[in-house]
Amino acid sequence: MMAASQSRRALVAAELRRFGTFMLRELKPKGSVLTPFNVISGAIMLVAAVLLTIRFARGLGAITNLSQDYPWGFWIGFDVITGVAFAGGAYVLTFMVYILGQEKYHPIVRVTVLNGFLAYVFYAGALLLDLGRPWRVINPIIGNSFGVSSVLFLVAWHFMLYMMAEFVEFSPAVAEWLGWHRVRRFLAGLTLGAVIFGITLSLLHQSGLGALYLMARDKVHPLWYSEFIPILFLMSSIFAGLSMVIFEGTITHKVFRHRVGAALHASHDDIVVGLARIAAGTMFVYLFLQLLVFVHGQRWSYLGTGLGAWYLLEMVGLVALPAALFIQGYRGRDLRVIRTAAVLTLLGIVLNRLNVSVIGFKWYAPVRYVPTWMEIEVTLAVIAAELWVFRWVVNRMPVLGTAVGLVREEPSREARAGVLAA
């Protein structure tokens, strides 16, 4: 009896020690540290750390151009509102794979969910930098002050729940990395539930970000305000997310070539072409909705103005044109055209979200808001930090490969059997 418990204790200790050395090894950077990317992004993050110290010591006004007229600026308009639209790829792809059963797209689900998860953590997390009293952020969650009549209450809750859902969706990859096969099987069993929950939450908070502006109806320029703004935000998040998947995929495949599994490598072009087709389809639906809103809102009179030209640039140059390019690229299987279309589409989304939240917001104000270099610097630092974490994860966990290309050097026989079974 004693001997058995002692040996068990020794076993646990040995296992813990093994886990410890494994974690220590994994935490170290792989590859050379002083690359140009690391130096530049590291410098950006250091500068941002200084700026944020000033911001938290002396208030938002110390480093931002936010004003009484412009309570929300670049950090909300770009980091949060645009960033969340870009992260829409995760709910769209999980819908296609787990709900519609389009197995063709399975190889990119993990990397897309990881991207979505990190985007929420970092870009929605950047919200904390913008909050005047961030230490109170738990108030609407712990329940001492539920503002249930607020659209922002809903968005905040959904951000949080969706982050959890995406983590559950990604968690099997973490379990594989750690070699926890029984845990992995349990977590994989949660995937479908998390996917369904996640899609539902996404429908609501993607549109909810648009609904934030429903009470700002007299402040947003009439070319961008309409009561259909939640639906327009939701529709555009679909092709925004897909374009981001195409764009990120292109870069990821160059940078992490050694990590790409055989399955993904073989089908990558097919996947991109398929995504281009879906993106084009949703973009035409979106354009049709925009046309309806345009007619319904009697917006002709604004077209002659400067902002009218700006609106046409967004709708024609950065939605209709890339939609046509997506079709051309899809028909001719031309990946370069598709990538161009994806980049144009992303620019169009940036423009659209900023037009609603910053450029077209209080277009009548005598003093317009323009972000300081410091606001943009901090945004770049947030992106850099996200890329660092993304790289760390991709270099260690089975993200780009399929479940079979496991990372651990010497998996036990039992583990190998478990993986193959999965």
Partner 1 sequence: MDRRDLLKTMGAAAGTALVSGGLRAEQPGAEAAEPVAILVDTTKCIGCRTCEWACADAHKDAGLEFPEDVDFSVERTTSDKQWTVVNRYETEKGIIYAKKQCMHCLQPACAAACLTRAMHKTPAGPVAWNEDRCMGCRFCMVSCPFDMPKFEYHSAVPRIQKCVMCTERLAEGKNPACVENCPAGALTFGRRSELLEQARERIYAEPEKYVHQVYGEDEVGGTGWLYLASVPFGQLGFRTDLGTTPFPAYTREFLYAVPVVLTVVPPLLLAPSRASRARAAAQTEGHDEEGNA
Note whether 49 binds partner 1 by CB under 8 A: no
Structure tokens at 306: 């400067």
Which range touches partner 1 (CB under 8 A), out of 104-112, 148-156, 345-353, 375-383? 148-156
* Selected binder of partner 1 within 21, 61, 186, 257 (CB under 8 A): 61
Question: Phi, psi at residue 59, to the nearest 5°?
Answer: 95, 165
DSSP state of 361: B
Place of tokens 């502006």: 213
Residue in 117, 157, 239, 311 binding partner 1, rule: CB under 8 A: 157
Of 385-414, binders to partner 1 (CB under 8 A) are: none
220: helix, strand or coil: strand
Residues 6+ apart with CB under 8 A from 391: 255, 256
Sequence-ordered list of residues with C-beta below 8 angstroms from that of 22, at least 6 positions apart, any chain:
178
* Residue from 140, 172, 322, 329 binding partner 1 (CB under 8 A): 140
Tell me whether residue 201 or residue 381 sits nearer to partner 1 (CB atom): 201
Q: Give the nearest distance from C-beta 246 to partner 1 in angstroms.
A: 24
Establish if 305 lies at the interface with partner 1 (CB under 8 A).
Answer: no
Q: x/- string (CB under 8 A) for partner 1, residues 77-116?
A: ------------------x--xxxx-x-------------
Q: Which of 56, 186, 288, 300 binds partner 1 (CB under 8 A)?
A: 56
Closest CA to 396 of 412, 407, 384, 385: 407
Question: Per the structure block, which two tokens stand in for 58?
Answer: 């002396």
Amino acid at 242: L
Nearer CB in complex with partner 1: 139/267: 139
How far CA 6 is from CA of 3, 9, 15, 100, 392, in Å, comes to 5, 5, 14, 52, 38
Verify binding: residue 163, partner 1, rule CB under 8 A.
no
Size of the site for partner 1 (CB under 8 A): 67
b/e burial code for range 400-422 (CB count within 10 A of at least 16 → b): bbebebbbeeebeeebeebbeee
Report d(CA 123, CA 382) in Å as an integer: 7
Among 174, 188, 196, 404, binds partner 1 (CB under 8 A): 196
Q: Which stretch binds partner 1 (CB under 8 A): 203-211, 247-255, 293-301, 328-336?
A: 203-211
Residues in contact with partner 1 by the rule CB under 8 A: 56-62, 64, 66-69, 71-72, 95, 98-101, 103, 130-134, 136-137, 139-140, 144-154, 156-157, 161, 190, 192-193, 195-197, 199-201, 203-204, 207-208, 211-219, 227, 230
